[in-house]
Amino acid sequence: MEALKERILKDGKCLEGGILKVDSFINHQMDPVLMKRVADEFARRFASAGADKIITIEASGIAPAIMTGYVMGLPVVFAKKKKPVTMEGMLSTEVYSFTKRRTYDICVSGEFVCPGDRLLFIDDFLANGNAAKGIADLARQAGAELAGMGFIIEKEFQHGGKMLRDMGFRVESLAVIESLGNCRITFKQ
Ligand code: 5GP
């Protein structure tokens, strides 16, 4: 998606350790016009995937997920990082966070992720694929299926995309970064 790549080049910042900071338009301040274009593109790519619900993880996934849900006319559920005492039929799993360098739990209610659901997972970044594996585990526990996974930015050099595709998941990424070496952003052509 050219508009997204141009914005990443213009406003994205490389940090140490292969991290891309996109705080001015995705992760802190958000650009709703760009996010709508992201959602339109996910909707186009997953039009025939047969998804009936969108799933994401709080907090950064919520903006692209809700916009995609709006465009596709699908409900959106987000996995929570704190377990509410009021949650009924809780399903939970552990995820290792690459950016925070620690493991945390994510949970969803079995009320909203149900047997037979066809889930489309939407998130901001794909790095090592741990968040996506966590979502796949929640779907498995619920008896739901994953119709696809869509990421705004995939960092190909961290190999999560290869792992998920080898596991048989349909993965679509709108901007694929080949390298952040020497703090230069290089896209896959
Ligand atoms: P994974 O689980 O695929 O290793 O990492 C995905 C999660 O880590 C995303 O949900 C995102 O929040 C965070 N993440 C991974 N890499 C980056 C990055 O380069 N920049 C930012 N801002 N977040 C990242």
Q: Please tell me the pTM assigned to this model.
A: 0.97
Confidence check: pLDDT of 175 > 90: yes
Q: Ligand 1 centroid to 154 CA: how many Å? A: 9
Within 10 A of 78 (CB to CB), how many other CB atoms are there? 19
**Ligand 1 pocket test target in 16, 95, 124 with most atoms within 8 Å of CB:** 124
Q: Tokens 């998804």 sit at which residue?
A: 51
How does pLDDT run across 16-32, given as a tens digit for each residue?
Answer: 889 999 999 999 999 99
User: In this structure, what token pair is assigned to residue 25?
Assistant: 């338009």
| pLDDT at residue number 80 | 97
Q: Whose CA is nearest to atom 22 of ligand 1?
A: 21
pLDDT of 166 strictly over 90 = yes
Does the beta carbon of 124 lie inside 6 Å of ligand 1?
A: yes
Complex ipTM more than 0.95, yes or no: yes
Query: Rounded CA gap, 139 and 143, in Å?
Result: 6
The alpha carbon of 131 and the centre of ligand 1 are apart by a number of angstroms equal to 8
Residue numbering of the annotated binding site for xanthine: 20, 27, 155
Q: Are 55 and 120 in contact (CB under 8 A)?
A: yes
Please state, in angstroms and rounded to a whole number, the distance separating the CA atoms of residues 69 and 122: 10
Rounded CA gap, 72 and 43, in Å? Answer: 6
Q: How many CB atoms lie within 10 A of CB 171?
A: 20
Domain boundaries, the chain: 2-179
**Residues forming beta bridges with residue 171, ordered by sequence position:** 149
Fold of 2-179: Rossmann fold (3.40.50)
